[in-house]
Amino acid sequence: MTTLEQQTREKGFAAAWSVASATSLTILKIGVGLWTGSLGILAEAAHSALDLAAALITFFAVRVSDRPADDTHLYGHGKVENLSALVETLLLLVTCAWIIYEAFQRLFVAHVEVDPSVWAFGVMIVSIVVNYFNANLLGRTAKKYQSQALEADALHFSTDIWSSLVVLFGLALVWLGEQIGQKEIFTRADAIAALVVALIVIYVSVQLGKRTIDALLDSAPRGLAERIISAVARVPHVRHVTRTRVRGSGTHVFVEVHVVVPRHLSLEESHAVTQRIREAVHTISPHADVVVTTTPSADNEGIFETIQSVAARNHLAVHNISTHQTDKGIWVDLDLEVAPTISFDEAHRIATDLETRVRAELSALQDAYPIADVNVHIEPRAQELVTGHDLAPKEAAQYIERLRAIAATLPHVRACREIDVQRANNQVYLACHLRLDAHLSVAEVHSLTEELENRLRREFPALGRVVIHAEPV
């Protein structure tokens, strides 16, 4: 069973159970209320009837709200739950108006006999027990699936518990009046209890109505946008969060985030940033539908980032970018990878064009970084897949022996192992794992591996690719 199927089944069961229990309580309260003449119980019957209507609305709402988006409802059908909660609110307020009217009639106009029989007390106790179970079932399901319709239904049944306790208190006062011979005075306690029920329901209705209207007007949940902005701002490469939009639709939350990222990021890197942003939002709102828009920016950009950005915009691969400063300014050197099959003239044209573009881009940084010159070194791009084979043992041995001998003369080297020597593309390919002291800096490690490679190349001019994998001891 999929998560959506399980959600629909559990929400449907909770809604169906509330319909069944509300029907039973309404019938029971109407019968006992008419028999005993208790306005408090009749008010509770009206409240339960309202719960029945609300439960029916919720039952159909949760069935519709979980339908997927279609051509006419691009954001799904979640608003059905919000609309059902608004209808429940209006029903609550209409019922309260009737209860208040009847209570004032009994307090100041008409006199009605109230019979505080065991049936009156029994039906209210049963009502409290059933409503407690309903409120817990609906509340748990609503919290699990962020369902406003089920939450509204749970609120109805929770209100019933308190209002039933008030009615019980009113009936107890009427019974006490009979026992002490002051029934007429204490009979009014039943009407007062009905008024208290109405006030409780009005308060709950207003709170529910405000939240429902907020949802229908796409008001963001309080504090959610601020928490999302704070989480997204901590994602690496996010420089600014320029805009955040949050809207709820039933159990669904839709989030739009606009961020500024460094312009030198590649398409893959930019996509990785958007994925991390979605993950950050999901830590706050696990089921949110998140849309991320990234805007490239050159703000606070350094020389290396500027060069990478220029190369990326022109679909060029560069590496080994280095700079050094003299009295004339900063010298920039970098390696440009080109297809090995193109002519030297075409490769030189590409390199010259890149130099021109880099100089133009860095001109904006002249105050901070006065540029003396930009030099581009052309390198053939490696072929994706070439055929290779192991060298003969005797031929490979000379490379392995010299590699280990040279490594042994270098400081901080603890071992040289897992050596592979092959011939590929008419050149010798050599790879090894070099174990070094862990306290060294990256610059020191690079210097050692570079020295090892250079000494090998001086002794073996036929060497092609040399890969030295440094490992900390």
Query: The domain spanning residue 100 has which CATH number?
Result: 1.20.1510.10
Which of 380, 399, 416 is the endpoint of a domain?
Answer: 380
pLDDT in tens, 168-178: 776 677 677 66
Residues 373 and 350 in one domain: yes
Residues 275 and 146 in one domain: no
Residues 30 and 139 in one domain: yes
Residues 78 and 197 in one domain: yes
pLDDT in tens, 121-143: 776 777 777 777 777 776 677 66
Q: What is the DSSP string of 395-416?
A: HHHHHHHHHHHHHHHSTTEEEE
Q: Residue written as tokens 């030295």?
A: 468
Where residue 104 falls among pLDDT bands split at 50, 70, 90?
confident
Q: Report d(CA 329, CA 315) in Å as an integer.
A: 28
Which of 380, 409, 433 is the endpoint of a domain?
Answer: 380
The answer to whether residues 335 and 377 touch, using CB atoms and an 8 Å cutoff, is yes
Q: What are phi and psi of 317, to 5 degrees?
A: -105, 125
What the block records as the tokens of 173 is 């006062």
DSSP 8-state symbol, 261: E
Residues 412 and 288 in one domain: no
For the chain, how many structural domains are there in total? 4
What the block records as the tokens of 252 is 């669904």
The answer to whether residues 330 and 371 touch, using CB atoms and an 8 Å cutoff, is yes
DSSP 8-state symbol, 410: S
Supply the range of the domain harboring residue 66. Answer: 3-216
Query: The domain spanning residue 448 has which CATH number?
Result: 3.30.70.1350
pLDDT in tens, 343-373: 989 999 999 999 988 888 887 665 666 788 8
What the block records as the tokens of 195 is 């008024």
Residues 159 and 32 in one domain: yes
Instruction: Report which listed range, 14-23, 254-263, 356-365, is most confident.
Output: 254-263
Residue type, 98: W
Q: Report d(CA 79, CA 28) in Å as an integer.
A: 34
pLDDT in tens, 200-246: 778 777 877 776 676 666 666 677 788 889 999 999 989 889 888 88
Does the global pTM surpass 0.75?
Answer: no
Residues 69 and 197 in one domain: yes
Cα dihedral value 257, 261, 266, 268, nearest 10: -30
Where residue 329 falls among pLDDT bands split at 50, 70, 90?
confident
Residues 6+ apart with CB under 8 A from 256: 243, 244, 245, 246, 290, 291, 293
Which of 216, 233, 251 is the endpoint of a domain?
Answer: 216
Residues 283 and 310 in one domain: no
**Amino acid 40: pLDDT:** 57
Question: Mean of the pLDDT values across residues 74-92?
Answer: 65
**Amino acid 2: pLDDT:** 45
Residues 331 and 316 in one domain: yes
Residues 293 and 308 in one domain: no
What the block records as the tokens of 111 is 């006199």
**Amino acid 127: pLDDT:** 72
pLDDT in tens, 269-299: 889 999 999 999 988 887 788 889 988 887 7
R_g of the chain, CA atoms, integer Å: 39
The answer to whether residues 317 and 311 touch, using CB atoms and an 8 Å cutoff, is yes
What percent of the chain is modeled with pLDDT above 70?
A: 65
Residues 329 and 205 in one domain: no
Q: Which of 48, 54, 47, 64 shows the shortest CA–CA distance to 84? A: 54
The answer to whether residues 292 and 247 touch, using CB atoms and an 8 Å cutoff, is no
Instruction: Report which listed range, 3-12, 29-38, 293-302, is most confident.
Output: 293-302
What the block records as the tokens of 72 is 């006419």
Residues 49 and 135 in one domain: yes
